[in-house]
Structure 1
C-alpha cells in the first residue's frame, strides 16, 4: 500500500509541475519554438497569422488560425500549405526537458500546393536542401534520416493542386486524411478520402520504412481503393517518384459507377465487356508514364481472357495488348444492321436501315494495337469460331484485321476500317471461302433466301453519319462462286417443267457472278446458275441502300437433239421483305414470234426472186424492189410502143 501511495503521489506531483509549466509558458513562445525547430530542420518557414492559443484538451499543444508553410526554394513563391486552423500536439515529457517534439498536426480546410521537379522530387519532401545541393544530387535517393517526424497528421476538408513536371495540373477538393506514424523508422498508415467526382473514394495505404521512403528509397507499399461499384488493391514496392512494381487486383460490380468515382464518367461498357469484372496482373509503372501488366487474368462478365498489356499514359493513351480467350459472349454489343436483319425491331425492319446518328467518338480515346485470339465469340449478332483478330487505333481511325476469322461457317481474311477523322466512313477488303450465304447475307443484310457455300472477294467503301447513309453511299466490287445451293421463294424447275418441282425452292448445281456497287446499288450482269438441264442467266440491280430488288433471271431449258431450248425469264422486283417473283411471259414468247416472222419473210423473198427473175437479198427493202421492177417494166413497154428495140 505504501508503495502504491508513493507512486500515486509522484504522479500527482509530476502533473502539478507540468500544469504549472504549461500555464507559465506563453503559447506564442511554444509556437515560436516549434516554428524555429521546423525551419531549422526542414528549411521551411511556418508562420502563424492569428492568435496562438494553448490547449490542454483534447490535445496538449497550441492552436492558431491562419497558418502558412513556405514552399521549397525551387517550387515558386506560393506557399506549400495554408490552413484556416492548425493545431499542433506536443510531447509533454520533451517539453518539460526544454524541447519541443511534435506528436500530432491537425489542419482544418488546408490547401496544399504540390509540385514536382525534373528529377521527380516533390516539394512535399521536407529537408534543408538548397537549390544548388538539389541540382548536384538530382535523381539520387537521399539517405539522410528524416529531420522531423509526426506521429499523426490529420487534414479535414483539404484541397490540393498537384503540378507534375510534365502534363496538366490535377486539382481536388473535399479531401480528408489521417496519417499515423508512431515509429519514425517504421511503417506509416494512411486513411484518405478523395472526391474527384463528388462521390467518396476511400484509400487505405501502408508504407514500410516511411522515413527512408520520403528520402527517396524504395519501400514496400500496400494500398486499397474502394468506391461505389468496386475496389482496387496494390501490393508491391514503390518510391517517392511514383515508380512501382507489384501485384494489382481489382473487382467491380458496377464498372461505370466505379470509374465515375475516379472522375471518368459516361463510360458505359456493353454487357460482356466488363460491366462487372475481376482483374489480376503483375504491374510495373515507371516515371515516364509507362504501365506494363504481365500474367494478366481478366473476367469480364464471365468472359475469361489472359495475356499482357503495355500502356503509355498521356492525354491520348498508347497501348499494346495480347489477349487469349475461350468461349466469349458479348450480348450487349449489337448493331442496327443486325437488329434489323434479325427482325428484333419490326419498326426498324419496316422503315429500312437505322437513321440514328453513329457515335464513333470512342475511336479517339486511345492509340495502339490489340491482338485477340479466342475459341468462339458471339457479338453484334455474329458468331465467330476459333479466330485471331487484330485491332489498331490511330488518331480516330480503327482497323480490324481478320487473321483469319472463322465466320458464317467458313473463313474470312482481310480487314475492315472505321474512320472518324473527318466525318464517319467505313470500308474493307475481304476474301472468303466456305461462307454459308444464308448466314452471311441474313446477319449482315437481312436477306436469307440464298443458300449455299460461297467463295469470293469483296471490296467496299461507305460514308455517312448513320447506317442508312452508309448503305445508300456504298460503293465497291467483288465476285462470288457457289457450288450447290438453292433459292427459296420460287421454284424454277416447276416453272420450266411440269411436275411437283422442289417445293417452292430452286436447287442449283453452280452459281457464279461478279458485281459492282455504286451509291448503294449492287449491279450484276453475268450471273450464271446451272441446275438439272437448265441454265439461268441473270442481271439487274439489288438495292442495298433502299432494300429492294429489280432483277431478271433468264432460265433456258435444253432442247432435244441440239434444238434451241425454251427460255422463260423471271422477274424479281420489290422490297426484300416481300419481293414479287413472276415469269416474264411477254419476253418469253417474243423469240418464238420473231422466229415465225423471220421464216415467213424468208419465203416471201424466195418467191419474189423467182417471179422477178432476179436475186433479192434480206437486206433490201421489198417494197422498193417491187416498185423499181414495175418502173423498169413500164419503161421497157413504152420503148417498144414507140418503135424501139
Structure 2
C-alpha cells in the first residue's frame, strides 16, 4: 500500500504544482515538466497524454488525459506499471494558500496496475530516485477526503512462486482526514468471476505510509470466504500481530485470489463449514505463526499451534494439533449404490481430487481420542502427517482399533496421478466389527493378526481396487464362521447348510496371500476345528468383487486325525451373492485316481514280491548246486559268475598240481 499512496500523492502534488502554470503555458509543456519532475523523484518515466485542464469551480482542480508510469527496466512484462484513462484532482483553495494540501477528491478512471516480482525477489513497485538512490520523504502535510478508482484492474505476476493474481472491475475508496490520524480503505473487485471485497482501517497514516506498525483492522472477503484481523501491523516489511478469525467456506474462491488452486474440502474436513481462529503473528520474513489456534471443520474441532513458512518451491505448514473426537464420513461409502459393502454392485468410480496436496508441504503431529471414517472406527490415535511435493505419508505412532492396535504407515501420492500404498500391522483385531464396518460382512467372529503390504494406482476407488499389488499374512485364534456349517455338509453331502442358524466353530485359521492386478491369491489356508480340518486355495477378485475359492474340509473319524470324509467345497460368484457347491465330481475323480494308484501300487508290490521269491529260489540253487552263497550287496548274476570263476580256477589249480607231480 505504501507505494500506491506515494505514487498517488506524488501525482497529486505534481499536478497541483502544474496547476498554476496551466493558464500561461501550453498543456503539453506542463505535462512534460510534471513528467520530468516525477522521474527525478522516482526514477520512472511519467507520461501525461492529452490536455491538462484546470478547474476553478466549484473547487480548484485539474483533469488530465491518459496517464502512464513506466515499468522497471528489468521487468519481463511489456505493459507499464500503471495506466489510467484520466486523473482528476480537487483541492481546497484556502488550505493550499495556507501551505497545506487538502485534497477534496482524487480519482483515477479505469486504472490498470501491473505488478511483478522477479525470480530473485525484486519488486517492480519499489522506486529509486535518479540522485542518491532513495525515495524522498512524503509530501508536506495533507488530507484526503476521498480518493477513488473506478473500473480498475490489478495483475500480480509473482515469478518467484509461479503464481498469478488478477483482479478486475476494481472499485476503491481511500479516506485520510488527517495525515497524522486514522485512515480507511475499501475496495471491491472480481477474481475469476468471484466477488472480492476489502475493508481496512488503521491508526496514524503517516506512520503507516512509512511502513511502520500501527493499529489495524482488516476484513477481506472472497466469494463465500472471509478473513478478519484486529491488531497491529506494518507493510515494510509486512508484519502483524493480533486476533485472526477466518471463515473458509469457499476455498476455491480464496485460492483464486491467492493465485493457487484450492479444492473444496471433503465431508468432515470443512465441506459445510470451515473456520480458523487464533493469535496471528507475521514476522516480516514471510512466515506466519498462529498460536492458540482453533479449527472447526464441519463437526470436528482441533486446537494447537501452526507455523506457515514460505519454502523454496511452496509454503510449508508445521503444526501440532489435538482434536476432539473426529468424524469424517466420505460420500458414497465403500460400495456403489444404497446397499454398500458386500451387497454393492461395484466400487465408486467418482474421481478422487487430491490437488490440495500440491498447494503446500506440511509436517503435522495429530492426536485424537477417536476417529470415525464412516467405513472404519478408530480409537485413540497419534500420527505424524508429512506432505512433500503432493505426497502425503501418515506415520501411525499409536492407533487403537476394534479391540486391538494398528501400526505402520499409509501413503497418498498425488504426483502425476493418484496412488495409495502402505505397510500395516494389525494386532489383536476383532474381525466381526472390522469386517462389518469395512464391507458389511458380520459372519466371521474371531480375534487375530494381519500383516499387509499394498499399492494401488488410479484416480477412483474402483481403479485403485482393480490395480492392487502386494502381500500379506492372516492368523486367527478361536472363533466361528456364521452362515455356513462345513461339518453338516460333510456328513450329509448337502449344500443346504448355508444361511441363518448355521455356523462352523474353529480353533484356528491361518494363511498367506499375494495381490496382483486387483486379484488376491491364497494357496495355503489352514483351518483347524474340533471335528474337522480344512485347507483352502483360490482367488478373490478385489477389483471385480468376485470369488473363486476351493475349501477341502475333512471330517475326522479318529483321534489321531485319520479317516473321515473329505468333500471339496467350491465358493464362486459375486460377493453380493456367492454360490456354494460340493464338488462331488472331484470326489469321484479323486477316488478313481486313488483306486488306480492303489492298484498300481498293489501290482508293483506283487511284482516286487515275485522278484524277491525268484531271487531267493535262485540263491538257494546256487548254494545247493554250486556251493555259492550270495553276499548281501551282491546280485544273483554276479554271484553265479563269481561261483563259476572260482570253480574254473579250482579245476585249473588241480590240473596244474597234477602235472607238477608228474601224474
Deviations 1:222-265 (A, max 9, x none): 21113442321112322333233332111255555565566667
Measured after TM superposition, the shift of residue 615 of structure 1 is: 6.6
Structure 1 length normalisation: TM-score?
Answer: 0.76
Structure 2 match to 1:245: 241
**How far apart, in 1, do the equivalents of 2:607 and 2:113 lie?**
117
Q: Structure 1 pair 201/214, CA: closer, same or farther in 2 (3 Å)? A: same
Q: Structure 1 pair 329/491, CA: closer, same or farther in 2 (3 Å)? A: same
Of 542, 566, 591, which residue of structure 1 is paired with 2:540? 542
**How far apart, in 1, do the equivalents of 2:73 and 2:466 lie?**
66
CA contact (8 A) 1:146 1:214 kept: no
Structure 2 residue 303 is the aligned partner of structure 1 residue 306 = yes
CA contact (8 A) 1:230 1:251 kept: yes
**How far apart, in 2, do the equivalents of 1:473 and 1:613 lie?**
62
**How far apart, in 1, do the equivalents of 2:597 and 2:561 lie?**
17
**How far apart, in 2, do the equivalents of 1:613 and 1:288 lie?**
99
Structure 2 match to 1:90: 91
Structure 2 length normalisation: TM-score?
Answer: 0.74
Structure 2 match to 1:210: 205
CA contact (8 A) 1:341 1:442 kept: no
Structure 2 residue 178 is the aligned partner of structure 1 residue 180 = no
**How far apart, in 2, do the equivalents of 1:491 and 1:592 lie?**
24
**How far apart, in 2, do the equivalents of 1:117 and 1:358 lie?**
35
Secondary structure in 1 aligned to 2:488? Answer: helix
**How far apart, in 1, do the equivalents of 2:468 and 2:160 lie?**
45
Structure 2 residue 294 is the aligned partner of structure 1 residue 297 = yes
Structure 2 residue 142 is the aligned partner of structure 1 residue 149 = yes
Q: CA RMSD in A?
A: 4.4
Structure 2 match to 1:268: 264
Measured after TM superposition, the shift of residue 592 of structure 1 is: 7.5
CA contact (8 A) 2:320 2:364 kept: yes
Of 280, 284, 287, which residue of structure 2 is paired with 1:283? 280
**How far apart, in 2, do the equivalents of 1:62 and 1:599 lie?**
118
CA contact (8 A) 1:335 1:380 kept: no
Deviations 1:324-381 (A, max 9, x none): 11112223x2466x124983399x933x344555554444333222232212222252
Structure 2 match to 1:196: 191
**How far apart, in 2, do the equivalents of 1:560 and 1:73 lie?**
97
Secondary structure in 1 aligned to 2:501? Answer: coil
Structure 2 residue 583 is the aligned partner of structure 1 residue 584 = yes
Q: Structure 1 pair 277/616, CA: closer, same or farther in 2 (3 Å)? A: farther
CA contact (8 A) 1:491 1:506 kept: yes
Of 300, 319, 322, which residue of structure 1 is paired with 2:320? 322
Of 459, 471, 477, which residue of structure 2 is paired with 1:477? 471
Deviations 1:119-145 (A, max 9, x none): 99977678x8556443xx9xxxx9x66
Structure 1 match to 2:517: 519
**How far apart, in 1, do the equivalents of 2:517 and 2:102 lie?**
82
CA contact (8 A) 1:125 1:214 kept: no
What stretches of structure 1 of length at least 5 have no aligned partner? 1-23, 618-645
Aligned length: 582
Deviations 1:7-29 (A, max 9, x none): xxxxxxxxxxxxxxxxx977546
**How far apart, in 1, do the equivalents of 2:216 and 2:40 lie?**
27
Structure 2 match to 1:564: 562
Structure 2 match to 1:18: none
What stretches of structure 2 of length at least 5 have no aligned partner? 1-18, 617-663
Q: Structure 1 pair 480/132, CA: closer, same or farther in 2 (3 Å)? A: same
Measured after TM superposition, the shift of residue 506 of structure 1 is: 0.9
Of 217, 229, 236, which residue of structure 1 is paired with 2:224? 229
CA contact (8 A) 1:550 1:571 kept: no
Measured after TM superposition, the shift of residue 413 of structure 1 is: 0.8
Secondary structure in 1 aligned to 2:208? Answer: helix
Measured after TM superposition, the shift of residue 182 of structure 1 is: 1.4
Secondary structure in 2 aligned to 1:295? Answer: strand
CA contact (8 A) 1:38 1:45 kept: no
**How far apart, in 1, do the equivalents of 2:117 and 2:252 lie?**
32
Structure 1 match to 2:444: 450
